[in-house]
A and B are shown apart, each in its own frame.
Chain A
Amino acid sequence: MSQLVEQVVLITGARKGIGRSLAEHYLGHGYSVVGCSRKDSDLRHERYHHYCLSVTDETSIKSMFADLANRNGRLDVLINNAGIASMNHVLLTSVDKAREILDTNFIGTFLMCREAARLMKKNQFGRIVNVASVATPLKLEGEAVYAASKAAVISFTQVVAKELASFGITVNAIGPTPIDTDLIKSVPEEKLDQLVRLQAIKRRGTFSDVTNLIDFLIRPESDFITGQVIFLGGV
């Protein structure tokens, strides 16, 4: 995957979990990697640059893109990985928590896509990968707001794919199954096992399942694949 011009990938929520694993993966494949998260990252690499920001903060995001454009001059890949979840019955869910989930998972994805596409458009090339969830198609109880926020990401992906197609930008979404990260640490084991039993392939996901799928979607040869949502595990 090495290339003559150093390609730039931006990963949100890059400090830990899937985001961190993606950052290390693409550094290993010669990309220049830009990460962001609310807290600072301890990832140190000559081709890694980290921004501390919330994906819901439009002003900070615009500053980051201005800086990124100055430093790198281009953006090839955006992976909208940042996301939060909160398992709770709808009757006990506060409006503050509901807004927080929608803000991070949907508004964050929207803001990053908009700003990234403005930069990608200049090169007439871009690959955007949004992160959905199996919680939406499986209609998981206890995840009403989270599943709805990811349903919004799916609809957004499908429409934006059309709006950006003429700029050479593809927009797809991946739907991971449960992977052992902080996102699911408060979900009881029994619930996770029940969820895995609903998949065609009955095991938890791994970081490499995710990187493999994203590798496929961002390849130059994948320029005829857009507006698609691929769920892992056979959901």
Chain B
Amino acid sequence: MADQERVQQAVYRAVDELNKQLPKGISVNKSPDAVLYGKTGKLESIDVVTLIMEVEDQIKAEFGTSITIADDRAMSRENSPFLTVGTLTDYVAELLN
């Protein structure tokens, strides 16, 4: 069972990496409630792509496991895993388990 705390820290490190690449004035908070995508999100779709890539890299570094986050399973969910940092973290933990 993947440690939820370790997953969360890996996602936060990915958020740090994303924030370095975002335009001035735009950043994602390291908080489960931080909105990523959707009507109230501040990110462009390419920023979400970048974040997912960073999360995949951080998970590989932390757990030594390669995961594919954005696949048909993720896309076809009624509640998108990409809405907030929290939903993304939960989804990644689910994939690892």
Q: Which residues of B pack against A, CB within 8 Å? A: 45-46, 49, 52-53, 68-72, 75-76
A186 interfacial by beta-carbon distance below 8 Å: yes
Total contacts A to B, CB within 8 angstroms? 28
Measured CB to CB, the nearest residue on chain A to B67 is A94
Q: Is the CB of A92 within 8 A of B49?
A: yes
Q: Which of A91, A94, A96, A186 contacts B75 (CB 8 A)?
A: A186
Structural contact, B76 and A88, CB atoms closer than 8 A: no
Additional A-B contacts beyond A92-B53, A97-B68, A185-B76 (14; CB < 8 A): A87-B75, A89-B45, A89-B46, A89-B70, A91-B49, A91-B53, A92-B49, A92-B68, A92-B69, A94-B68, A94-B71, A96-B68, A97-B72, A186-B72
| Contact in complex: B53, A88 (CB < 8 Å) | no
Contact sample, A vs B, 20 pairs, CB 8 Å cutoff: A86-B72, A87-B75, A88-B70, A88-B71, A88-B75, A89-B45, A89-B46, A89-B49, A91-B49, A91-B53, A92-B52, A92-B53, A92-B68, A92-B69, A94-B68, A94-B71, A96-B68, A97-B68, A97-B71, A186-B76
